[in-house]
Chain A
Amino acid sequence: MLKTTTLEAMLAAYPELAVSEFRGGTRVVAQRGKLFETLQWFLCQRGFDLLVDITCVDYLNYRDAKDRFGLVYLLASTETNERITIRVYLNEPELSVPSVVSLWEGANWMEREVFDMFGIVFDGHPDLRRILMPDEFTAYPLRKDYPLQGRGERHNFPVLRRNQA
């Protein structure tokens, strides 16, 4: 639960943030251009020292959705036990956001995973490679327009016969 003082300070610093509440959690929608600044403010000014997760949602064919991707940052403060969800909406072809590895070291693999599954590019990431799928994989499998059974990648291997071992 976010403290009232934090909420007020946040709205004083960034009045353009859209705030909503859901089941005791506070959600904030940030602008793409001010994302890094906002996250840095939460880390440096309010002590949100724990980046719980970075994940992404594909809103393709989702009812009432205006944007394609929702990139989600879950932050927590180990000092005050506050938690906040920061979301930024992305649309093709501008699928890049600044990397937050410089703020939280743990963002490294999380951003690689989001890149691997959704194709979101994190500018300034030290090592933006695929983390789960093979390196030669070209698609982004958690996008909703990717077929569940793949596009034949899983059968694209040499076949070993009995006499060629």
Chain B
Amino acid sequence: MALELPENVVVSKLDSLANWCRKNSLWPMPFATACCGIELMATGASKHDLARFGAEVFRFSPRQCDLMIVAGRVVMKMLPVLQRIWQQMHEPKWCISMGACASTGGVFDTYSVVQGIDRFIPVDMYIPGCPPRPEQLIQAIIDLQDKIQNEGTITGEEFELKSRQATKRALIELPVIQTPVHLLR
């Protein structure tokens, strides 16, 4: 049965509409502490032009941002600041760990450098490289956009820990077929 719709009406899911809006207007929060920050600036500048992907408006206030890009090594004195900035950002929010140092500590395996920010804050995308090229950062943002489009929900259920784990499990195991609620009664 075909529905009669006027030709300027598109039917979609609310989730995918929200995801479409979110993924194309990412507002990065540059947490740039080292040479990755230079590449981050190059990515936002005219040559590589992050504006093509809708993420060019860098804001230095976490309350105006929804994408934290941690570019560079994070020392243990800086980590409480990083966590506070992450908590100040509004949901829905995402995090990119840019470069070897932010992801693993890199060559700085010393007493003062945190060995990967994912030990203390959630991370959505990791970018390898020391420092990564701007193309790699752009690729990570494109991948993050895909991720937002595919698994985002308007209620932010994907950020809840349990449902996230269930989603991850579903990618590995076979999907669990649940009995609809109205049949149980």
Give the contact-size bracket for chain B: 20 to 34
Chain A residues positioned under 8 Å from B86 (CB to CB): 160, 165
What is the chain A residue whose CB lies nearest that of B163? A163
> What is the CA–CA distance of A157 and B112 in the complex, to the nearest angstrom?
13
Q: Is A147 among interface residues, defined by CB-CB distance under 8 A?
A: yes
Out of A133, A147, A154, A159, name the residue touching B115 (CB < 8 Å).
A154
> What is the CA–CA distance of A146 and B111 in the complex, to the nearest angstrom?
9
Chain B residues positioned under 8 Å from A165 (CB to CB): 86-87, 89, 91, 93
Q: Is A150 among interface residues, defined by CB-CB distance under 8 A?
A: yes
> What is the CA–CA distance of A134 and B75 in the complex, to the nearest angstrom?
10
Chain B residues positioned under 8 Å from A151 (CB to CB): 111
Out of A133, A134, A153, A160, name the residue touching B122 (CB < 8 Å).
A160
The distance from the CB of B149 to the nearest CB of chain A, in whole angstroms, is 18
Q: Is B38 among interface residues, defined by CB-CB distance under 8 A?
A: no
Chain B residues positioned under 8 Å from A150 (CB to CB): 110-112
Q: Is the CB of A141 within 8 A of B111?
A: yes
What is the chain A residue whose CB lies nearest that of B78? A134
Chain B residues positioned under 8 Å from A141 (CB to CB): 111-112
Known: A153-B76, A165-B89, A165-B93. A159 touches B112 (CB 8 A): no
Q: Is A158 among interface residues, defined by CB-CB distance under 8 A?
A: yes
Q: Is the CB of A160 within 8 A of B111?
A: no
Chain A residues positioned under 8 Å from B77 (CB to CB): 132-134
Q: Is the CB of B120 within 8 A of A163?
A: no
Q: Is B114 among interface residues, defined by CB-CB distance under 8 A?
A: yes
Q: Is A149 among interface residues, defined by CB-CB distance under 8 A?
A: yes
Which residues between 132 and 158 of chain A lie within 8 Å of chain B, taking CB atoms? 132-134, 139, 141, 146-151, 153-155, 157-158
Q: Is the CB of A134 within 8 A of B83?
A: no
Q: Is the CB of B164 within 8 A of A149?
A: no
Q: Is B109 among interface residues, defined by CB-CB distance under 8 A?
A: yes
The distance from the CB of B73 to the nearest CB of chain A, in whole angstroms, is 11
Q: Is B125 among interface residues, defined by CB-CB distance under 8 A?
A: no
Chain A residues positioned under 8 Å from B110 (CB to CB): 148-150
Known: A141-B111, A148-B110. A157 touches B161 (CB 8 A): no
Q: Is B121 among interface residues, defined by CB-CB distance under 8 A?
A: yes
Chain B residues positioned under 8 Å from A163 (CB to CB): 159-161
Q: Is the CB of A155 within 8 A of B83?
A: no
Out of A148, A157, A160, name the residue touching B76 (CB < 8 Å).
A157
Q: Which residues of A contact B (CB under 8 A)?
A: 132-134, 139, 141, 146-151, 153-155, 157-163, 165
List 16 additional contacts besides A133-B77, A149-B109, A150-B112; criterion CB under 8 Å: A139-B111, A141-B111, A149-B111, A153-B111, A154-B113, A154-B115, A157-B79, A157-B83, A157-B114, A157-B120, A158-B83, A160-B121, A160-B122, A162-B161, A165-B89, A165-B91
Q: Which residues of B contact A (CB under 8 A)?
A: 76-77, 79-80, 83, 86-87, 89, 91, 93, 109-115, 119-122, 159-161, 164
